[in-house]
């Protein structure tokens, strides 16, 4: 389990179970966590470990031979993968196309003697079904709609029971000390690990599948109907009709497939006949009779997939400004030397010390909670571009702050989200502007005109004083 850290609704796990049964071999599930990944922090570690503790409990209940490893000073990772795979007949892993995972998988395949298969369980439609990345959401939407019904039928198994897995655990012991800490010991355990980044966990965010399923239920019960209308109005997470599931999708505590299935179940009388095949490409009407559900599914499928597909043909740690379309690059080269009205250093940005109250609020939300309201995230990115010395510096600052603080960072959508601010997947906008040229411009003034922003500012202020009762 590298990217998709769960036993239910997991195509990689299904395939491993299938092959273990077919070849009558022991099934060993390895879930590991090193301490030296880029932008490592207590915040990210704790989120992952909360998920691992739940997986360990579930593995015990299902009698899965689950090898759970967390690197510490006393339990170093060097040479470990080779050691644990010494007797393996084959290895199944997740085909996640971004950050450290493509390199990790490549190195694993080079080091071990057995075959390594990586399974694409990233979304609904396997990315190999698309010939190339899409240049705009409207293009990918049509491709997805045409393929959706066929792919959606290939579900991963929603839940295992002990009987499904009987005979697969031969109780081989791991060649390392397994991670045995329980939730009450987690904070003390984390103190033993040296992190390069001082980023504390947010006390209202907990990793793991149970929380992901609770968030999904709450979203479907209380929020989804307002999704299309109100999600863009800046406010606290509680008061915004969004799911908050991106970190759980990122670490694989829940799958896109499960969320889609739950949305369908939530729409009254939904049957596959509601899928409007005649209108492929129409985001308002395609999946269901409910426009709110369709809007949400479009974000979850089209907008999430467009990022993954961008990485898919050439999996890599990151994509940068070189991946922008030609019209955007032309704008950047024409406006590269434009005068910047304000200039800030990384320290100013990070501390939320700009002249712009709204920008500072968004940055504070990110630093203190590990999330940022989606509309504010777009404005946040645009302003860093406008007030940085160069486009390259702006990209680096956005990548660094997003990955250091956001629970859902280090994901294909981190890069395509940041590059969207530079014009990726967008069209030219007029009039031509300073620094941006024809790339879409956003400002705090227009945000103030469009939305009531006082609730957002009050909410962020309350985060700085967690003891006050107003928003708790
Ligand atoms: C500058 C910038 C940086 C971003 N960085 C990240 C990132 O690091 N990780 C990340 O997952 N997303 C990122 N996004 C996209 C988007 O902001 C988040 O996916 C969304 O806000 C997550 O909140 P949610 O789970 O409540 O979304 P919901 O609105 O509940 O949507 C459900 C799911 O759909 C997907 N989704 C929704 N909106 C978008 C979108 N605009 N683009 C892509 N997928 C979307 C996500 O997987 C999300 O969890 C970024 C956007 C921008 C502009």
What burial letters (b/e) apply to 63-93, b meaning 16+ CB within 10 Å?
A: ebbbbbbbbeeeeebeebbeebbeebeebbb
Structural domains of the chain in order of their starting residue, each with its CATH number: 209-312 (1.25.40.80), 321-464 (1.10.579.10)
Tally DSSP H helices, then E strands, for the chain: 20, 4
**pLDDT beyond 80 at 108:** yes
Question: Exposed, middle or buried: residue 263 (CB in 10 Å: 0-12, 13-18, 19+)?
Answer: buried
Index of the ligand 1 atom closest to the CA of residue 247: 11
**pLDDT beyond 90 at 386:** yes
Give the Å distance between the CA of 371 and the centre of ligand 1: 10
User: Helices (DSSP H) in 164-320: which residue ranges?
Assistant: 186-191, 209-218, 227-230, 246-250, 256-266, 291-297, 304-312
Q: How far is Cα 327 from Cα 378, in angstroms, rounded to an integer?
A: 20
Give the Å distance between the CA of 102 and the centre of ligand 1: 22
Average pLDDT over residues 364-377: 98
pLDDT tens, 229-247? 999 999 999 999 999 999 9
For 190, phi then psi, to 5°, come to -65, -25
Decide if 387 contacts 380 (C-beta within 8 A). no
Predicted pLDDT of residue 470? 52
User: Helices (DSSP H) in 298-356: which residue ranges?
Assistant: 304-312, 326-335, 346-350
pLDDT tens, 445-458? 999 999 999 999 99
pLDDT tens, 89-103? 999 999 999 999 999
Mean pLDDT, the chain, as a whole number?
96
Index of the ligand 1 atom closest to the CA of residue 304: 44
Index of the ligand 1 atom closest to the CA of residue 402: 8
Q: Confidence band (pLDDT; 50, 70, 90) for 81?
A: confident
In DSSP notation, 376-395 reads HHHHHHHHHHHTSSSHHHHH
Residue with the nearest Cα to atom 24 of ligand 1?
A: 244
pLDDT tens, 57-78? 999 999 999 999 999 988 888 8
Q: How far is Cα 16 from Cα 120, in angstroms, rounded to an integer?
A: 13
What burial letters (b/e) apply to 416-439, b meaning 16+ CB within 10 Å?
A: bbbbbbbbbbbeeeeeebebbbbb
Q: Which residue has the tokens 């990586």?
A: 118
Predicted pLDDT of residue 148? 96
Decide if 340 contacts 375 (C-beta within 8 A). no
Give the Å distance between the CA of 244 and the centre of ligand 1: 9
Contact residues of ligand 1, CB 6 A cut-off? 231, 242-246, 249-250, 299-300, 303-304, 307, 374, 377-378, 381, 402, 406, 408-409, 411, 413-414, 417-418, 420-421
Residue with the nearest Cα to atom 20 of ligand 1?
A: 374
Predicted pLDDT of residue 277? 84
Give the Å distance between the CA of 434 and the centre of ligand 1: 28
Residue with the nearest Cα to atom 3 of ligand 1?
A: 417
CA distances from 109 to 14, 95, 113, 193 (A): 21, 13, 8, 29
Residue 337 tokens, joined: 């030397």
Give the Å distance between the CA of 360 and the centre of ligand 1: 20
pLDDT tens, 206-237? 999 999 999 999 999 999 999 999 999 999 99
pLDDT tens, 120-165? 999 999 999 999 999 999 999 999 999 999 999 899 999 999 999 9
**pLDDT beyond 80 at 419:** yes
Index of the ligand 1 atom closest to the CA of residue 245: 25
Give the Å distance between the CA of 300 and the centre of ligand 1: 8
**pLDDT beyond 70 at 471:** no
Average pLDDT over residues 425-444: 98
Residue with the nearest Cα to atom 41 of ligand 1?
A: 303
Give the Å distance between the CA of 452 and the centre of ligand 1: 22
pLDDT tens, 4-48? 999 999 999 999 999 999 999 999 999 999 999 999 999 999 999
Nearest to 387 by CA among 432, 444, 427, 431: 444
- The reported pTM is 0.98
Predicted pLDDT of residue 469? 55
What burial letters (b/e) apply to 147-176, b meaning 16+ CB within 10 Å?
A: bbeeebeeebeeebeeeebeebbeeeebeb
Index of the ligand 1 atom closest to the CA of residue 219: 30
Predicted pLDDT of residue 468? 67
Residue with the nearest Cα to atom 21 of ligand 1?
A: 374
Predicted pLDDT of residue 472? 46
Index of the ligand 1 atom closest to the CA of residue 307: 43
Give the Å distance between the CA of 447 and the centre of ligand 1: 19
Give the Å distance between the CA of 414 and the centre of ligand 1: 8
Residue with the nearest Cα to atom 1 of ligand 1?
A: 418
Average pLDDT over residues 255-282: 93
Index of the ligand 1 atom closest to the CA of residue 250: 11
């Amino acid at each position: 389990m590298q990217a998709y850290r769960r036993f239910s609704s997991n195509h990689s796990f299904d395939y491993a179970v299938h092959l273990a049964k077919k070849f009558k071999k022991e099934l060993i599930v390895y879930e590991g966590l090193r301490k030296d990944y880029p932008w490592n922090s207590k915040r990210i570690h704790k989120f992952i470990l909360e998920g691992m503790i739940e997986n360990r409990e579930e593995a015990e209940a299902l009698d899965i031979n689950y090898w759970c490893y967390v690197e510490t000073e006393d339990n170093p990772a060097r040479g470990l993968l080779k050691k644990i795979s010494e007797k393996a007949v084959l290895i199944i892993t997740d085909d996640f196309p971004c950050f450290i995972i493509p390199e990790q998988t490549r190195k694993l395949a080079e080091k071990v003697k057995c075959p390594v298969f990586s399974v694409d369980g990233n979304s609904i439609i396997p990315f190999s079904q698309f010939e190339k990345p899409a240049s705009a959401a409207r293009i990918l939407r049509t491709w997805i709609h045409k393929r959706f019904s066929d792919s959606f039928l290939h579900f991963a198994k929603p839940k295992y029971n002990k009987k499904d897995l009987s005979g697969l655990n031969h109780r081989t012991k791991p060649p390392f000390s397994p991670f045995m800490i329980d939730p009450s010991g987690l904070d003390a355990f984390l103190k033993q690990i040296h992190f390069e980044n001082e980023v504390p966990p947010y006390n209202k965010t907990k990793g793991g599948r149970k929380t992901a399923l609770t968030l999904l239920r709450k979203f479907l019960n209380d929020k989804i109907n307002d999704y299309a209308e109100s999600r863009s109005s800046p406010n606290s997470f509680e008061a915004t009709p969004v799911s908050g599931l991106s970190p759980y999708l990122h670490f694989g505590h829940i799958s896109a497939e499960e969320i889609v299935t739950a949305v369908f179940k939530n729409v009254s009388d939904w049957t596959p006949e509601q899928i409007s095949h005649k209108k492929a490409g129409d985001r308002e009407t395609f999946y269901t009779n409910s426009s709110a559900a369709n809007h949400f599914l479009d974000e979850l499928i089209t907008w999430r997939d467009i990022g993954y597909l961008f990485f898919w043909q050439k999996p890599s740690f990151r994509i940068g400004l070189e991946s922008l379309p030609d019209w955007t690059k032309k704008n950047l080269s024409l406006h590269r030397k434009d005068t910047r009205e304000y200039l800030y250093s990384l320290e100013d940005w990070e501390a939320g010390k700009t002249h712009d109250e709204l920008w500072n609020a968004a940055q504070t939300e990110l630093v203190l909670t590990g999330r940022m309201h989606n509309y504010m995230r777009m404005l946040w990115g645009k302003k860093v571009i406008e007030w940085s010395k160069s486009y390259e510096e702006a990209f680096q600052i956005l990548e660094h702050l997003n990955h250091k603080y956001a629970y859902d960072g280090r994901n294909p959508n981190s890069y395509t989200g940041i590059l969207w601010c530079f014009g990726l997947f967008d069209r030219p906008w007029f009039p031509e502007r300073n620094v941006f040229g024809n790339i879409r411009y956003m400002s705090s003034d227009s945000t103030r005109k469009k939305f009531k922003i006082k609730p957002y500012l009050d909410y962020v202020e309350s985060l700085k004083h967690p003891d006050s009762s107003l928003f708790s």
